[in-house]
Amino acid sequence: MDKKSPVIIPCCGIDSVYGLMTQEVALKLKVEVEKQAKLLGLAYLVNGEIDAVQAITNTPCIVINGCSNECASNIVELIGGDIDIEYDIDNLMAGVDMVSLGDAVKLSESGARQVSEIAGKLIADLNNTEKGAAKC
């Protein structure tokens, strides 16, 4: 089987700063890995779009959840996607005052800094997965 590019699937939470952070992390990741990964909106999977479902079938998925409900992970698993890397912004931000990160519309300087740090960790995890795992 040919090596497939991973698919990045962020949470689509639009009502909190964590949802915005997932989107920003996904965009930073996509810019960093350029053609090595695809970005897929969760709404396509929720709506059962055939192309979206096919895009995650037998393909490593990078899922970025906004909160502990893990909607993105649950939907990917329900549809049969293979989650290679999974992040939960809520857990990563434990102990950080949510107000200091910004709001659902705009990140503060602190929030933008946190996004860059999380994106850096995810990129490192992706690089490690590509080197060590046959499926990615």
Other beta carbons less than 10 A from residue 34's beta carbon: 7
- Give yes or no for residue 2 having a pLDDT over 60: no
| Position with higher pLDDT, 125 vs 113 | 113
Is the overall model pTM greater than 0.95, yes or no?
no
- Give yes or no for residue 45 having a pLDDT over 80: yes
pLDDT band at 132 (very low <50, low <70, confident <90, very high): very low
- Give yes or no for residue 76 having a pLDDT over 90: yes
- Give yes or no for residue 5 having a pLDDT over 90: no
Other beta carbons less than 10 A from residue 18's beta carbon: 23
H or E element in which residue 86 lies = strand 82-88
CATH level 3 topology of 7-132: Rossmann fold (3.40.50)
- pLDDT at position 3 is 64
CB 39 within 8 A of CB 3: no
Spans of all domains in the chain:
7-132
- Give yes or no for residue 133 having a pLDDT over 60: no
- pLDDT at position 73 is 96
- pLDDT at position 129 is 67
CA Rg value for the chain: 14
